[in-house]
Amino acid sequence: MKIFDKVKGAKTAMRCLREGNELLEAQDTEAKDFDGQWLIESKDLKWSFPMVARAIRHKQTKLIVYEPQKSEVFTGIQGDYIDRAYCAKNKIEVVPFPTQGGAAVMNKGDLMFIFIRPNKKGAFHFLEFVMPKIIEYITEHVKDSKAAISGNDIEVNGKKLSGSSISYKMGSVSEGIFISGASGKKNLDAIGHKNKKREVTSLKELGIDTQELKNWLIAAVEKGMRNDSQPPSA
C-alpha cells in the first residue's frame, strides 16, 4: 500500500510521489521500532519521513518535531516549481514528504511540527489548538507585537512567521506547521513561491528562543490532549 495517490500536475509533483513511495518502502521497518513513542524529535528530515508515513498508515497518534541542521526543500504532495540547478549549486537537498502542501525551504534554526492522529469524531485538533498557543506565546514575550492567524499562516506585525497544512489519508489526519526560526527569506530562490514577494519574519528577529518555544509547545500539546480526553498514545 502506498501513502501517495496519483497527482495531476507538474513533473515536480510526480517525482515527489515516486521518490516518496520508494523511500517509504525502504524505511518502513526502521520506523516500526518507534511505534511505542507518541513524541519523536528529529534532526533528519529523511529519517522523519517513515515515522510520519507509518503513523498515517497505522492510524497512530504521534507528534514529530523536526529541526533542520542544513538547508533543505521540503515538498508536499501538491508539489511546486523547484529550481533543481539552484539547489544543486547551493547544496540544498530536495526531500519529498507524505503530507499535503507545496514546497517550503527549511534552514538551520527553523522548526516543523507534524501531528498525526486517527480521523475520528471528537479527536484532538492540533492546528486549532497550537496556532492560538503560538500567538499567546508571542504576545507574552514580544513587546508591542500584533500576532494573528491569516488563513493557514501566522503573521506578526503583518509579516509571515509560519505556514500550515492539513491532509487526510488512509483514515488518518496529518497536520503540520512550519515556523521560521532564523532563516527568513534565505534560499527562497530554490522555489517558485508567492512567499518570495511577501514580507516574512523569524523567531530570531522577534527575539524568541527557538528551543524554549519548542519545549513550551510540546508541553502545551501534551496537556491539551489530556484535557481533551485524548491522552498521548502509540
- The whole-number pLDDT of residue 134 equals 94
Query: Looking at residue 9, what is its pLDDT?
Result: 42
pLDDT value of position 130? 92
d(Cα 142, Cα 123) in Å, to the nearest integer?
32
- Spatial separation of the C-alpha atoms in residues 149 and 160, rounded to whole Å: 10
Q: What is the pLDDT of residue 135?
A: 94
Would you say the pTM of this structure is higher than 0.85?
no
Q: Round to whole Å and give the CA distance between 200 and 167.
A: 25
User: Which residues, at least 6 apart from 33, have a Cβ–Cβ distance to it below 8 Å?
Assistant: none
Whether the CB-CB separation of 182 and 210 falls below 8 Å is answered with yes
Residue 61 is given by DSSP the state -
**Half-sphere exposure (Cβ direction) of 222: Cα atoms closer than 13 Å:** 12
- Return the pLDDT at 226: 79
The CA distance from 196 to 225, in Å, is 36
pLDDT at residue 123, rounded to an integer: 81
Q: Which domains does the chain have, with CATH numbers?
A: 11-227 (3.30.930.10)
- State the pLDDT at residue 137: 94
Q: Please give the grid coordinates belonging to residue 153.
A: 499562516
The pLDDT of residue 89 is 85
pLDDT in tens, the chain (234 residues): 333 344 334 444 445 445 555 555 555 555 666 666 788 888 877 677 777 777 887 888 889 898 888 877 776 655 566 777 888 888 887 877 655 566 777 788 888 898 988 888 878 888 999 999 999 999 999 988 899 998 888 999 988 888 888 888 778 888 888 888 876 666 666 776 555 566 788 898 899 999 999 999 999 998 888 776 555 544
User: What pLDDT score was predicted for residue 14?
Assistant: 46
Give the C-alpha separation, 4 to 108, whole Å: 28
Maximum pairwise Cα distance, the chain: 51
DSSP H helices in the chain: 11-32, 45-57, 84-89, 126-141, 203-206, 210-227
Query: Which pLDDT score is estimated for 208?
Result: 92
Residue 175 is inside which H or E element, if any? Answer: strand 172-179
Q: Which of 233, 122, 99, 80 is nearest to 173 (CA)?
A: 99
